[in-house]
Amino acid sequence: MTSAPDSLPDAILAPKPRATWREGMAVYLQPRVLIVLLLGFSSGLPLALSGSTLLVWMRESGVDLKTIGLFALVGTPYTLKFIWAPLVDALHVPFFTRRFGRRRGWLVFAQLLLIVAILLLALTDPARSPLFVALGALLVAAMSSTQDIVVDAFRVESLPESEQAAGMASYVAAYRVGMLVSTAGALFLVSAFESTGIARSSAWMWGYVAMATMVLIGTVTALAATEPAQSARAEQATRADTAFKRVTQAAFGALSEFLARKDAWAALIFVVLFKFTDAFSGTMTAPFVIDLGFTRNDYAAIVKGVGLAATLIGGFAGGFVARRYSLATSLWIGGVLQAVANLSFSWLAIVGVNQWALAFAITAENFTSAIGTVIFVAYLSALCQNPLHTATQYALLTALAAVGRTYLSSGAGFVASATGWPIFFAICVLVAVPSLILLIWLQRRGHFETLGTVRI
């Protein structure tokens, strides 16, 4: 593993050995990497359906900003998924596990439940029954987070070291594409349905129905994939154990192993804080754009076009950074870029309704967020090495990362109402400072040297 740098400039002067262009591109075409790419799309698709897209639907239905901000709490399953992750590691799903394997069986099962949850959310009405909307969104988040548990374990276990960087870059880029499809794509569909004369509430319903069918892309991918060899070996090793013993081993073994590491608590706090700058601003981005005076289609068109391109480029740029520099330096690059990008929205708030300014802000946000996410996923993957409880450990880490998006960001609407949009997005930059301070501390403590081989 590349040692953690003493300082950012020194690390940049000592990059990793370069791979040739042909070698770098060929790895993206490996079947395992392509499978991970499609599963990344399936993981990214439902997040916005209980998040930013739902917030646009609510805002158009007349729901106030404070209530919209509180709706970030429906993401609670993303922060608590580590509670049922041991069940995914240890238990079998009747028929599905026997037919498709340990990871693939859970994956197909979770995706079918996710489709049902999205269809139920499609039948709600934010204007008349916000409580039922919240319950529907909560169910979507629960099924989505269960899918994430399995996909994350599948990705970590199925990719060899030589394909980890390409796999993570592909996964994150496709994840962001999935989010764009369920934001801009869903908004375009709603507008298209409305243009045919369908009432707005019905247009939103059919938009969500269309999104539910998109989950089948992940289901087909899971059926076409093969069970990871690590998972199959772990399953064979514990076949004789009782279900209770397997669950106990997955739950307590994963936690005790992690907490026994040096500076484990500091690492967990860092996981919570690293993406908080993205989460705090992202909660209010869609309502901000609508409030500024842009139409739903203006926002959708720019997110779908410019935002998609920026996401793809940013995802692969993050993969390049992860391969080129040490893990600590990569985290510095991603952390600073994703924080500073929030200033583009402060500028947009001052400029007002300007298509070019909106395009620039969306580009900056998508590009830097994708870079930061790829590098962050590399860090989380480096912390999960035992196939007996990969799903549990990774679920714990990603659940902690979701704390910022779910709980810490729930007050974003109150802050925006009190300060105004330009100052709000400046505050979004400042909330990144604690994570960067903690990054310095972890470097000096030699945290990154304790991770073993970092598979990036």
Q: What is the pLDDT along the chain (456 residues), one digit of tens a residue?
A: 333 333 333 433 344 445 554 555 565 667 888 999 999 999 999 998 998 888 888 888 877 767 777 777 888 888 788 888 888 888 888 889 888 988 899 999 999 999 999 999 999 888 788 788 889 999 999 999 999 999 988 887 887 766 776 777 788 788 878 988 898 889 889 999 999 988 888 899 999 999 999 999 999 999 999 888 776 676 666 666 666 666 777 667 667 777 778 888 899 999 999 998 888 888 788 788 888 888 777 777 776 678 778 888 887 888 888 878 888 999 999 999 999 999 999 999 998 888 889 889 989 998 999 899 889 988 888 887 666 667 788 888 877 887 776 777 778 888 888 898 999 999 999 999 999 999 999 999 988 887 754 444
Residue 450 Cα distances to 1, 12, 68, 243, angstroms? 9, 21, 42, 33
Taking the C-alpha atoms of residue 288 and residue 282, their distance in angstroms, rounded to an integer, is 10
Taking the C-alpha atoms of residue 331 and residue 6, their distance in angstroms, rounded to an integer, is 14
Q: Provide the residue type at 267 as one letter.
A: A
Contact 212, 118 (CB under 8 A): yes
What is the model's pLDDT at position 204?
A: 93
Sketch out the chain's domains with CATH numbers: 8-231+243-451 (1.20.1250.20)
The DSSP symbol for 14 reads S
What is the model's pLDDT at position 2?
A: 36
Taking the C-alpha atoms of residue 85 and residue 384, their distance in angstroms, rounded to an integer, is 14
Residue 186 Cα distances to 24, 57, 122, 181, 328, angstroms? 34, 11, 12, 6, 37
Count how many Cα atoms sit within 13 Å of the Cα of residue 66 in the half-sphere of its side chain.
3
Sign of CA dihedral 173, 178, 179, 185: positive
Contact 339, 432 (CB under 8 A): yes
